[in-house]
Amino acid sequence: MNTPFVLIVEDDTELSEIFAFILQAADLQTEVVRDGLLALNRIKETLPDLIILDMHLPNVSGATILTQLRQEPQLTGIKVVIVTADAMIARACEDQADMVLLKPVSFDQISKLPIRLLSGSQC
């Protein structure tokens, strides 16, 4: 079985490194992208199993990325977790995401993502 791959799309350096550290400790492969336009390219190149997606990004917003993910047939199966401090944006996009986490996000919330989303169990 292949190691699941998580693309972390978060422009906050410290937070993205924390997410990567927690997920790597759970034996997941991770990559961090801090720019929305670069994220769109990496998503298409790597087809991750899971995307942790901030909504406020440079160049292309998380909302735009989410819309493209849900419109392009080869990307629709990718699991997406929105991570944002903006409750209004989270609510507006929650129907398109597999999960929404409001910042600040706890260690426990991130560490349980592989079990909750990648194993096929219910959230």
Q: For the domain that residue 82 is a member of, what is the CATH number?
A: 3.40.50.2300
79 inside domain: yes
* CA pair distance 73, 121, nearest whole angstrom: 23
Provide the pLDDT for residue 118. 73
Residues 118, 4 contacting (CB under 8 angstroms): yes
- If you average pLDDT over every residue of the chain, what do you get? 91
Encoding tokens for residue 118? Answer: 């990648």
Provide the pLDDT for residue 122. 40
Encoding tokens for residue 73? Answer: 């047939």
* Residue range(s) defining the domain that contains residue 82: 5-117
Please count the structural domains in the chain: 1
The answer on pLDDT for 56 being more than 90 is yes
